[in-house]
């Protein structure tokens, strides 16, 4: 039936009763009918591209629904059209802190990497040099295609969708619930039975290629810029302030994991996926249970061969230990679980011409060469720049301006130059001379013995270093100040509005409003965004300082160990003495070696850095470290534990992971600050020292009892 025919037939139907004349029962019946009718027309328009009514008639249906709901608000349905396609949020998206972090995965690029993963699982449970609890060829793995989309968490309370959030940085995401309600594959109410009172279902929002191509054709026809790939299109579609725009795009959702759950609902990952299907979610039908590494690798080769035939983009395969009890015991390391790995497909390559080499100066003064390329599409993404790493790499590959080069892009890794096509080298091409002076401030660029990077010696007088440090300070994983990007940081620095981090919090909105490209509203919005970041977690604050070698994972280690900014600063200043207990305590943190400790202590040895900390103390509040919710009730939270000797019932690796999962700090040496020493067979001198210091000594049975009590 055509749209004109449907419109004509609708006009011939009897007039509807005025909303004011409806009884409650009539209103309830009509709202139920409207919900189904509008949902059907949404599917015909947005998904099937085959509308049966005109836009005017569709708008009339929605207005009728809205008017009835306004008169009978107590009758608003959970599947109401006003819930699925609603009004835009007033400004941006609210932040959501995930109850459990949304972890990233370690990557495997070669077959041997996958074999190493299986061996790592086996070795984690090894009790002695000759005995293992898990054999590699017996480990059950759920394997599934790695969808190239946007990670999402959906929280359901009593079976009803309560919150939908993006992954964000893994700890904090964005509330996009309104937009997610527009997806047919996101249930408003869970079906079936057996779902916990609270369950957070995680998965991927994606666009099939057909929908992506159609969307780009539509955008090109209307003069809008096109998306580079389906993943970018998915992210852009889901982050629309107007959910009606999201609804017009054929987004889909695959469920494959979960976060917080108020009660257990499965014993294996395979069983959990079956539950998701029962509850109304789409689960990738290509997921498969594999037994042992050889079956897993065979699955990878099968999916790789069929990759082009799949309706959606994938960039590899994910392997997850099937047994949830083993997953729990394996735990995580840094920001990735030990029980999962992603095997990526081989890097995609293309050839293009190297037009120039640009030198970037980082916040630590490192000079990094960047290849400026003739634009080329690699793996569905237009590439114009690629890293050349350092001057040694340029010499080793003999890369010259004007060369035809092979460009490689693997997953989300920065594109890189793989090699030069020598038979296409121009006759006039000459070897590249790496600069020995900073291109920004003109200072000498030195290369220390044993170092690969050449560094600008200009320090604080180098604008590039100053700007890069400020950019890092406000970046997503640090203070995350919206609206203060590279362009604004650079302009504010050049005009003397900011020189150090504390200046950001003293910006004058009246001065900013008078600048070119700004106004009162945009200046006020910026100051609001800045003020919202005057309270910050300790780990984000440490990361924002830009200490060499200290990124997100190390910042979290330091925050968890020292608990407060005051304690961390006090210990780092005491640790300037190489023979101090504070220095030993820093080196005792698992994951911090001599070089990293030297960089951390070097930061505190610099008077300017201490002045920056003093200045920030007057502008921001740094919150004490808070352990994740599941750790806070643990009697081991914040305790320092040392393991020594041979344990019989679990490997040392598992024991350490168990303690850290319960909020404890695991160190390698005994001191007066040690709370417990867990002694297995042949404990050695550590147990003797612990006894002398009065540290509580636990045998393996007492440790298991305490850990079980903490976990319970």
Quick one: 205 and 305 in the same domain? yes
Stated pTM of the model: 0.58
Give the end of a domain, one of 480, 506, 533: 533
Predicted confidence band of residue 687 (pLDDT cuts 50, 70, 90): confident
Q: Are 409 and 415 in contact (CB under 8 A)?
A: yes
Q: Residue 331: which H helix or E strand, with range?
A: none
| Residue 480's CATH number | 1.10.150.20
Predicted confidence band of residue 441 (pLDDT cuts 50, 70, 90): confident
Answer yes or no: is 443 within a domain. no
Q: How many domains does the chain have?
A: 6
CB count in 10 Å sphere of residue 609:
15
Predicted confidence band of residue 13 (pLDDT cuts 50, 70, 90): very low
Model pLDDT, residue 45: 46
Give the end of a domain, one of 623, 657, 681: 623
Whose CA is closest to 338, among 649, 651, 632?
651
Answer yes or no: is 451 within a domain. no
Model pLDDT, residue 308: 76
Quick one: 151 and 249 in the same domain? yes
Q: How far is CA 422 from CA 352, 398, 419, 429, 498, in A?
A: 13, 10, 9, 11, 48
**Structural domain containing residue 547:** 537-623
Answer yes or no: is 194 within a domain. yes
d(CA 498, CA 504): 6
Give the end of a domain, one of 623, 654, 673: 623
Answer yes or no: is 618 within a domain. yes
Q: How far is CA 576 from CA 544, 548, 565, 593, 612, in A?
A: 22, 17, 17, 16, 18
Return the higher-pLDDT residue of 66 and 605.
Answer: 605
Model pLDDT, residue 336: 80
Quick one: 380 and 334 in the same domain? no
Determine which one of 39, 95, 138, 146 is catalytic.
146
Helix 463-474 and helix 486-494: axis angle, to 10°?
A: 130
Mind listing the pLDDT tens digit for each residue in 182-237? 999 999 999 988 899 999 999 999 999 888 888 888 888 877 777 877 888 888 88
Average pLDDT over residues 466-474: 90
User: Positive or negative, the Cα torsion across 260, 266, 267, 268?
Assistant: negative
Answer yes or no: is 121 within a domain. no
Quick one: 549 and 407 in the same domain? no
Mind listing the pLDDT tens digit for each residue in 84-123? 533 333 345 788 888 888 888 888 888 999 999 999 898 8
Q: Residue 626: which H helix or E strand, with range?
A: none
Residue 443 neighbours by CB under 8 Å, 6+ apart: 437, 456, 457, 458, 461, 462
Which residues share a beta bridge with 356? 372
CB count in 10 Å sphere of residue 180:
25
d(CA 292, CA 310): 25
Which of 2-11, 62-71, 243-252 is predicted least confidently?
2-11
Residue 371: Cβ-neighbour burial (10 angstroms; 0-12, 13-18, 19+)? buried
| Residue 7's CATH number | 1.10.287.610
Q: 559 phi and psi, to 5 degrees? A: -65, -45
Whose CA is closest to 268, among 319, 318, 323?
323
Tokens, residue 597: 């400790």
Quick one: 528 and 542 in the same domain? no
Average pLDDT over residues 303-309: 85
d(CA 536, CA 699): 40
Answer yes or no: is 246 within a domain. yes
Quick one: 227 and 358 in the same domain? no
pLDDT at residue 628 tops 90: no
| Residue 402's CATH number | 2.40.50.140
Quick one: 236 and 307 in the same domain? yes
Quick one: 358 and 428 in the same domain? yes
Quick one: 546 and 598 in the same domain? yes
CB count in 10 Å sphere of residue 7:
16
| Average pLDDT taken over every residue of the chain | 84
Quick one: 189 and 295 in the same domain? yes
| Residue 338's CATH number | 3.30.470.30
Quick one: 191 and 68 in the same domain? no
Model pLDDT, residue 3: 38
Quick one: 497 and 587 in the same domain? no
Return the higher-pLDDT residue of 61 and 525.
Answer: 525
Q: Write out the DSSP string of 217-249.
A: HHHHHTTPPPPSSHHHHHHHHHT-SSHHHHHTS
146 included as an active-site residue: yes
Tokens, residue 21: 């004349």
Mind listing the pLDDT tens digit for each residue in 475-530? 888 998 988 888 899 899 989 999 999 999 999 999 999 998 898 988 999 999 99
Q: Are 341 and 359 in contact (CB under 8 A)?
A: no
Answer yes or no: is 261 within a domain. yes
Answer yes or no: is 50 within a domain. yes
């Amino acid at each position: 039936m055509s749209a004109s025919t449907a419109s004509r037939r609708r006009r011939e139907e009897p007039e509807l009763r005025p909303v004011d004349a409806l009884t409650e029962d009539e209103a309830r019946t009509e709202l139920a009918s409207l919900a189904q009718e509008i949902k059907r027309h949404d599917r015909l328009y947005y998904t099937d591209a085959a509308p049966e009514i005109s836009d005017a008639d569709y708008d009339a249906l929605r207005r009728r629904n809205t008017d009835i709901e306004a008169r009978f608000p107590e009758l608003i349905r959970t599947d109401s059209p006003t819930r699925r396609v609603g009004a835009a949020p007033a400004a941006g998206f609210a932040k959501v802190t995930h109850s459990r972090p949304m972890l990233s995965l370690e990557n495997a690029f070669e077959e041997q990497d996958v074999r190493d993963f299986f061996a790592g699982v086996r070795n984690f449970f090894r009790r002695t040099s000759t005995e293992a609890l898990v054999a590699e060829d017996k480990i059950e793995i759920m394997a599934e295609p790695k969808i190239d989309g946007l990670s999402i968490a959906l929280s359901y309370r009593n079976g009803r969708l309560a919150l939908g959030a993006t992954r964000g940085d893994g700890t904090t995401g964005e509330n996009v619930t309104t937009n997610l309600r527009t997806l047919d594959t996101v249930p408003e109410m869970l079906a079936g039975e057996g779902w916990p009172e609270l369950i957070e279902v995680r998965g991927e929002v994606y666009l099939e290629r057909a929908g992506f191509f159609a969307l780009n054709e539509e955008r090109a026809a209307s003069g809008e810029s096109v998306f580079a790939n389906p993943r970018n299109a998915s992210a852009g579609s889901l982050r629309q302030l107007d959910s009606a725009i999201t609804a017009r795009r054929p987004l889909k959702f695959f469920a494959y994991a979960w976060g917080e759950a108020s009660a257990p609902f499965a014993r294996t990952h395979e069983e959990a996926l079956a539950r998701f299907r029962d509850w109304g979610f789409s689960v990738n039908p290509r997921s498969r249970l594999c037994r042992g590494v050889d079956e897993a690798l065979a699955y990878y080769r099968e999916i790789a061969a069929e990759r082009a035939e799949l309706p959606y983009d994938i960039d590899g395969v994910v392997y997850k230990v099937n047994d949830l009890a083993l997953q729990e015991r394996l735990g995580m390391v840094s920001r990735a679980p030990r029980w999962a790995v992603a095997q990526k497909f081989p890097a995609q390559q293309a050839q293009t011409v190297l037009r120039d080499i640009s030198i970037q100066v980082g916040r630590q003064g490192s000079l990094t060469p960047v290849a400026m390329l003739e634009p080329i599409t690699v793996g569905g993404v237009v590439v114009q720049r690629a890293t050349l790493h350092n001057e040694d790499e340029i010499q080793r590959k003999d890369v010259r301006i004007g060369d035809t080069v092979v460009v490689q892009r693997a997953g989300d890794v920065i594109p890189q130059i793989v090699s030069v096509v020598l038979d296409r080298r121009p006759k006039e091409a000459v070897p590249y001379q790496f600069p020995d002076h900073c291109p920004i401030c003109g200072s000498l660029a030195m290369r220390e013995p044993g170092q690969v990077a050449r560094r600008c010696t200009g320090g604080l007088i180098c604008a590039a270093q100053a700007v890069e440090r400020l950019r890092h300070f406000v970046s997503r994983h640090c203070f995350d100040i919206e609206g203060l990007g590279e362009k604004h940081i650079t302009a504010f620095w050049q005009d003397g509005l900011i020189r150090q981090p504390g200046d950001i919090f003293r910006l004058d909105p009246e001065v900013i409003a008078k600048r070119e490209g700004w106004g009162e509203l945009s200046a006020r919005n910026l100051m609001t965004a800045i003020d919202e970041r005057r309270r910050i977690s300790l780990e984000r604050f440490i990361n924002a300082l830009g200490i060499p070698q200290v990124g997100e994972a190390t910042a979290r280690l330091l925050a968890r160990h020292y608990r407060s900014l005051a304690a961390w600063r006090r210990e780092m200043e005491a640790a300037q003495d190489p023979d101090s207990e504070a220095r030993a305590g820093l080196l005792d943190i698992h994951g911090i070696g001599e070089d990293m400790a030297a960089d951390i202590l070097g930061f505190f040895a610099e008077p300017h850095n201490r002045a920056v900390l003093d200045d920030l103390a007057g502008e921001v509040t740094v919150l004490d470290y808070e352990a994740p919710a599941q750790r806070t009730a643990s009697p081991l939270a914040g305790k320092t534990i040392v393991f020594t000797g041979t344990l019989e019932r679990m490997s040392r690796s598992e024991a350490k992971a168990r303690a850290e999962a319960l909020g404890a700090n695991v160190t390698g040496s005994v001191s007066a600050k040690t709370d417990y020493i867990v002694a297995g067979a042949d404990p050695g001198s550590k147990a003797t020292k612990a006894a002398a210091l009065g540290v509580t000594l636990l045998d393996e049975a007492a440790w298991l009892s305490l850990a079980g009590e903490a976990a319970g």
